[in-house]
């Protein structure tokens, strides 16, 4: 081997250095599974909750300029899983919104991507047709009484529990006392998406043992 | 990343110097330069425990005596690990169920010293010690998120190796080494903690 060849080797090594300083792992296979994130207000006594109100549809967050709701059989199956989770936790569903202790709102993110941080929790300000606080009562807005850091992308389901016993007077904000974010629900296979969603909702209750009457 | 740019600049300048000088000469008088591919194996670390060849080492040394060299070094290494889906208790009632990819990136730099034997022969063994600082980045990739922490620590790395010069008068040849490294970096990502980083590995490259 002569000097010229050694220089070629040196060149190859330097070229390798140029393209391999910090290796990021392949993340493509991360999308082969779903993600479930849950968080709650540690100041809430969830055992004191008796009744809950659960709407019969899922709000869709997409690119539409009007409010969309998802109401077909798949949506009802997802709502049933939420109902089962709440009932198994010892809570009772009621049809009277005004008499319920808490409300549950389900939202499916179809075409939007947002990042949510505790300092900027009102991401729905950018989406004009999210669940309006007025749906639940005379609140002035929303409020997370705990830290929230996560990202929403297309193919996500949000399940949020709001405290309907909270004080409404004086422009108070409606507190979200438990939330669940389920991601990874946008594969090309609709059946798989539904299966993942169902498993994700069930997992959300499994990893929230404080939801217990 | 800025460090990546600096590293590339150093490597590129080294290459230009190597290419510009006549074959018989050293790049600098009484010095050596090594450019190595590096494979590292983490020890006692469950954050990113897979052996990896994503690493390089660049170093130079000045012959302060016919047997002893002292000079600068910089190297880098990334180790990865896949984590199957699991539920993590994040505290305060928060939980996360996901699969992950972990990455541990290390970038030590500092001073390296060697004691060399048989410096006029084809095979020139040596024992060395690297001392310096270590920048380390611990990352967890999940969903569309990369959560990471940056740490700094003290770095210490003994090494044994051999430089192979087919024609010692040209001082252009190969380099093979075994090393162990210890860094005091500590940090937390999600529910994972790293306290000190230990590796062993091999380096193979060119020397001139």
The full set of domains in chain A, from first to last, is 25-206 (3.30.160.670)
Does the predicted interface ipTM exceed a cut of 0.90? no
* Residue A104 predicted with pLDDT over 80: yes
Candidates B37, B78, B145; nearest CB to A151: B145
H or E element at residue A69: strand A68-70
pLDDT tens, position by position, B125-138: 999 999 999 999 99
Band (A120; pLDDT cuts 50, 70, 90): low
- How many domains does the structure of chain B reveal? 1
Rounded percentage of chain A residues whose pLDDT exceeds 90: 42
CA distance A75 to A186: 15
Q: Is A16 in Cβ contact with B103 (below 8 Å)?
A: no
pLDDT tens, position by position, B22-55: 444 455 688 899 999 999 999 977 788 888 888 9
Find the mean pLDDT for residues A177-200: 88
Tokens for A109?
Answer: 């993110």
Residues A172/A134, Cβ–Cβ less than 8 Å: no
CA distance A21 to A104: 48
Residues A173/A143, Cβ–Cβ less than 8 Å: yes
Classify burial at A78, counting beta carbons within 10 Å of its beta carbon; exposed 0-12, middle 13-18, buried 19 or more. Answer: buried
Band (A147; pLDDT cuts 50, 70, 90): confident
Find the mean pLDDT for residues A150-167: 85
CA distance B95 to B67: 58
pLDDT at position B24:
44
Find the mean pLDDT for residues B71-76: 96
The more confident residue out of B8 and B121 is B121
* Residue A137 predicted with pLDDT over 60: yes
CA dihedral B196, B200, B204, B208 (to 10 degrees): 60
The per-residue DSSP string of B34-94 comes to EEEEEEEEEES-SSS-S-B-EEEEEEEEEESSSSEEEEEEEEEEEEEEEEEEEEEEEETTE
pLDDT tens, position by position, A25-70: 887 778 778 899 999 999 999 999 999 999 999 998 877 777 788 9
Residues on chain A touching B102 (C-beta within 8 angstroms): 25
**Residues 6 or more apart from B129 whose CB is under 8 A from it?**
B112, B113, B156, B157, B158, B159
Lowest mean pLDDT among A10-19, A187-196, B123-132: A10-19
Work out the number of other CB atoms within 10 angstroms of the CB of residue A179. Answer: 24
pLDDT at position A169:
80
Within an 8 Å CB–CB cutoff, is residue A8 touching chain B? no
CA distance A73 to B206: 66
Domain span at residue B144 reads 2-207
* Residue linked to tokens 């004191």: A48
Band (A150; pLDDT cuts 50, 70, 90): low
Q: Is A18 in Cβ contact with B205 (below 8 Å)?
A: no
Beta bridge partners of A73: none
Band (A125; pLDDT cuts 50, 70, 90): low
Candidates A6, A20, A184; nearest CB to B56: A20
State if pTM tops 0.90.
no
**Residues 6 or more apart from A106 whose CB is under 8 A from it?**
A55, A58, A59, A78, A79, A82, A157, A158, A159
CATH of the domain at B81: 2.40.160.20
Residue B197 gets the label, from left (phi > 0), alpha (psi -120 to 50) or beta, of beta
The alpha carbon of residue B94 is apart from the nearest alpha carbon of chain A, in Å, by 4
Band (B20; pLDDT cuts 50, 70, 90): very low
Within an 8 Å CB–CB cutoff, is residue A187 touching chain B? no
Candidates A10, A29, A207; nearest CB to B18: A10
Band (A121; pLDDT cuts 50, 70, 90): low
Q: Is A35 in Cβ contact with B96 (below 8 Å)?
A: yes
Residues on chain B touching A147 (C-beta within 8 angstroms): 92, 94
CA distance B134 to B152: 6
What distance lies between CA B74 and its chain's CA centroid?
7
């Amino acid at each position: 081997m002569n000097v010229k060849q050694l220089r070629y080797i040196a060149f190859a090594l330097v070229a390798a250095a140029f393209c391999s300083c910090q290796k990021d792992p392949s993340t493509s296979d991360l999308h082969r599974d779903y993600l479930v994130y849950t968080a709650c207000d540690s100041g809430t006594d969830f055992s004191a909750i008796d009744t809950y109100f659960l709407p019969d549809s899922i709000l869709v967050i997409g690119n539409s300029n009007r409010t969309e709701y998802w109401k077909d059989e798949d949506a009802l199956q997802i709502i049933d899983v939420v109902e089962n989770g709440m009932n198994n936790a010892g809570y009772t569903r009621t049809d009277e919104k005004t008499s319920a202790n808490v409300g549950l709102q389900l939202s499916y993110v179809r075409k939007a991507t947002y990042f949510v941080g505790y300092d900027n929790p009102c991401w729905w300000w950018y989406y004009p047709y999210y669940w309006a606080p007025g749906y639940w009562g005379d609140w002035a807005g929303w409020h997370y009484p705990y830290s929230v850091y996560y990202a929403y992308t297309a193919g996500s389901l949000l399940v949020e529990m709001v405290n309907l016993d909270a004080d409404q007077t004086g422009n108070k904000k409606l507190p979200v006392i438990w939330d669940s974010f389920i991601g990874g629900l946008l594969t090309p296979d609709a059946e798989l998406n539904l299966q993942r969603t169902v498993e994700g909702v069930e997992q959300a209750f499994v990893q929230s043992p404080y939801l217990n009457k | 990343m800025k460090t990546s740019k600096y590293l590339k600049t150093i490597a590129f300048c080294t290459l230009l110097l190597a290419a510009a000088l006549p074959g018989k000469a050293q790049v600098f008088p009484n010095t050596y330069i090594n450019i190595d591919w590096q494979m590292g194996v983490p020890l006692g670390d469950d954050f990113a425990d897979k052996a990896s060849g994503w690493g390089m080492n660049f170093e130079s040394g000045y012959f302060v005596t016919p047997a002893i060299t002292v000079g600068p070094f910089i190297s880098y290494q990334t180790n990865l690990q896949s984590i199957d889906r699991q539920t993590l208790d994040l505290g305060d009632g928060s939980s996360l169920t996901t699969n992950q990819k972990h990455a541990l990136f290390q970038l030590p730099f500092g001073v390296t010293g060697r004691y060399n034997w048989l410096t006029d022969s084809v095979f020139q063994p040596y024992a060395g010690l690297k001392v310096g600082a270590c920048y380390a980045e611990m990352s967890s990739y999940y969903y569309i998120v990369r959560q990471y922490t940056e740490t700094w620590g003290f770095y210490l790395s003994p090494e044994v190796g051999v430089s192979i010069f087919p024609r010692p008068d040209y001082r252009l040849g190969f380099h093979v080494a075994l090393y162990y490294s210890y860094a005091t970096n500590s940090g937390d990502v999600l529910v994972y903690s790293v306290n000190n980083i230990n590796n062993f590995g091999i380096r193979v490259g060119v020397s001139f």
